Structure 1
Amino acid sequence: MAVSQTQVWQSAIVVEVSEIARDIKRIVFAPELPVKAEPGSHIDLLVQIDGEDVQRSYSVVDSSEDGSRIAISVFKAPLSRGGSEFMHTVSVGDSMRITQPLQNFPLRVGAQKYVLLAGGIGVTAIANMARVLKRLKADYNLVFVGRSREAMAYFAELEAEHGERLQAHIDDEGTSLKIPELLSDVDQDTELYMCGPIRLMDAVRRTWIERELDLPNLRYETFGNSGWFDPQEFLVRVPKLGLEVVVPPDRSMLEALEDAGADMMFDCRKGECGLCEVRITELTGVIDHRDVFYSERQQRLNQKMNCCVSRVVGVAGKASEGASAQRAVVTIEAH
């Protein structure tokens, strides 16, 4: 059972498709029911995966004042669950089903200082915030982290728009981000907004807590496919429902259980709200916690997991280890 914001679905025509960085496409829609997208907004779309309509979420990079044009950017992830691959096949003139803009990551206007941190494709959630803060003449810094300039969407545009307020940290150029340095000048009156890979955001959160900064001033949006391990096939058992379901690498546990007929509760599908929580009764393997809902202590206990994003891997789950692992198995209590 889905529990969420009111979703207004509509038809939208693709009016622009362009490649703006390596493996990243900008896609602009003309929606049937235009609504301006505020900073931090996202839209849900129906994409075709194996002949079925599957819901995916993408941050809104920008929209026109009247909402008649709304843009997203999609990275073709090598470990995609199928959504990004589909989005890289759309063409001008295609009709798609999308929602009006939804908001889970609002920008609060009025802070004394802002730090905006974008990791890779996470810039899609951050770029519009920077644009608004510049227009408001706010005190802000935009920090953009990436592996190379060629893979950093909108880099040239952001550099031209924000000048010295843009701080680039690029691995290939030997300027990787050092998080203690980033947070050294942050005080209790600073709000930090971030979107990027889970490793980056977890490191920021840990340092933020160590410095005893105000937690409500740390705000973030997550990637549902950003984890500590490469995704593996695993088995989930739900004795109460008589289910034993294989979760392939390109599907989430939530999707696999829905496919098997389980009536699941969820909202964000990004590991932020905790509504899809399941209790773990048995485990063979390691939980790859990809959520930002649980505290570090709760994640270490391995008693619960957010099945919309978190996965289970074998003990040799890291791709860098180059070893195969026996298929992991998790037994859960559903709602």
Structure 2
Amino acid sequence: MSTVQIMWQRGRVTAVDAVADSIAKITIVTDTPVRPEPGSHVDVRLPSGDVRSYSVVSGGADGGSITLGVHLSPTSRGGSTYMHSLRPGDELDITAPLQNFPLRVGAPSYVLLAGGIGITAVSAMGAVLRRMGSDYRFVYVGRTRSAMAFLPELEELHGDCLEIHIDDEGTGLDVTTLVEHVDTRTELYMCGPIRLMDAVRRAWSDHTLPTPNLRYETFGNSGWFDAEEFVVAVPGLGLTTTVGTGESMLDALERAGVDMMFDCRKGECGLCQVGIASVDGQVDHRDVFFSEAQKTDSTKMCACVSRVAHRPSDPGARSAPGVITLDTP
């Protein structure tokens, strides 16, 4: 639950700059100045009426402006495409900063872990820890250097406290080694791809580190497989519909007239979970709500982010769409 009451206001774009491959830094001045806390985000209303959430990278000293970092997703459902179309002078509906991922001040030591565009959620945390003189490590992971937003600024600010791991330079992150060097008093804050965060959560559990000391934010947009078209059936409603590559199962079910319950749309709250009666294919769990055991059982899934992938046993065969049958939502 957010610690800030949702307040919609008008915002005006003052600057749009490219800061990495397919990543734009967007600065927005708002009607009502509110200084964002580290780890906060804003909701943006799209022209379609849909709402998307974006982490606040930084805020102006007077609280009158915020900076966002937005990745243009190749499977955008409208949000990142719209954000990348913005130009200085454009206006949009935006909330005051909301807080679901707070930094607890006063821990003996910290590890900040950012994977890809996840840097937007932890960048402000790093600035606060640096300013307070805290004991911290800032670990930034990317596939290529050109895809890592704000890297020069982070290197200048954090110096030796910043650790960079880049896959195509042969310095990819070893999650086990990272967690082995964490003690029971350290708090780890992370945001990034589901695969990275799942690996950290498993290693954290394997090393019996305190669960409350592992904190994370997710965008719910990455999984083990590329997004594929699949079919969802709800026999209890006499309904069968297709989920396209650019939409979620939640979107498809709503489009078909199903009254769905949901909130975060990021695979965190679990309100949109549906029961699985059967599946022809493999459930690609993209949430952080269910445990590893629950994901292995695959009796439920989060409709807002998780998908179905179909992989034929014959590598040369053409993949038929996966099919999932649900209990009545």
> TM class by shorter-chain length?
over 0.9
**Separation of aligned partners in 1, 2:316 and 2:99:** 40
Task: Please tell me whether residue 216 in structure 1 is matched to residue 215 in structure 2.
Answer: no
| TM-score (ref. length: structure 1) | 0.93
Q: Which amino acid aligns with 2:296?
A: R
1:192 to 184, 188, 191: 188
Are 2:3 and 2:98, in contact at CA under 8 Å, matched by a contact in 1? no
Q: Which amino acid aligns with 2:177?
A: E
Q: Which amino acid aligns with 1:328?
A: G
Deviation at 1:47, TM superposition (A): 2.4
Deviation at 1:196, TM superposition (A): 0.7
The equivalent residue for 1:146 is: 142
Deviation at 1:241, TM superposition (A): 3.1
Task: Please tell me whether residue 16 in structure 1 is matched to residue 15 in structure 2.
Answer: yes
The equivalent residue for 2:39 is: 40
**Separation of aligned partners in 1, 2:289 and 2:296:** 13
Q: 1:294-305 residue pairs with structure 2 within 5 A?
A: 294-305=290-301
Q: 1:303-318 residue pairs with structure 2 within 5 A?
A: 303-316=299-312
The equivalent residue for 1:133 is: 129
Task: Please tell me whether residue 244 in structure 1 is matched to residue 235 in structure 2.
Answer: no
SS in 2 for 1:270: coil
**Separation of aligned partners in 1, 2:73 and 2:157:** 28
Are 2:235 and 2:328, in contact at CA under 8 Å, matched by a contact in 1? no
Q: Which amino acid aligns with 1:312?
A: V
Q: 1:97 to 1:290 in 2, by over 3 A?
A: same
**Separation of aligned partners in 2, 1:122 and 1:234:** 28
Q: Deviations over 1:243-274 (max 9, x none)?
A: 32211111111122222222211121111111
- Give 5+ residue unaligned stretches, structure 1: none
Are 1:4 and 1:268, in contact at CA under 8 Å, matched by a contact in 2? no
**Separation of aligned partners in 2, 1:290 and 1:187:** 28
Q: 1:22 to 1:66 in 2, by over 3 A?
A: same
The equivalent residue for 1:327 is: 321
Q: Deviations over 1:163-207 (max 9, x none)?
A: 000001112222111112212220100000011111111111111
The equivalent residue for 1:233 is: 229
Q: Which amino acid aligns with 2:326?
A: I
Q: Which amino acid aligns with 2:324?
A: V
Task: Please tell me whether residue 286 in structure 1 is matched to residue 263 in structure 2.
Answer: no
Task: Please tell me whether residue 26 in structure 1 is matched to residue 20 in structure 2.
Answer: no
Q: Which amino acid aligns with 2:319?
A: A
Q: How much is the aligned-residue C-alpha RMSD, in angstroms?
A: 1.9
1:82 to 78, 82, 85: 78
Deviation at 1:38, TM superposition (A): 0.7
**Separation of aligned partners in 2, 1:305 and 1:274:** 9
Are 1:81 and 1:249, in contact at CA under 8 Å, matched by a contact in 2? no
Q: 1:322 to 1:74 in 2, by over 3 A?
A: farther
2:263 to 243, 249, 267: 267
Number of residue pairs aligned between Structure 1 and Structure 2? 327
Q: 1:251-262 residue pairs with structure 2 within 5 A?
A: 251-262=247-258
**Post-superposition, which runs of at least 4 consecutive aligned residues in structure 1 deviate over 3 A?**
3-6, 321-324
Deviation at 1:218, TM superposition (A): 0.7
SS in 2 for 1:232: coil
Deviation at 1:314, TM superposition (A): 1.1
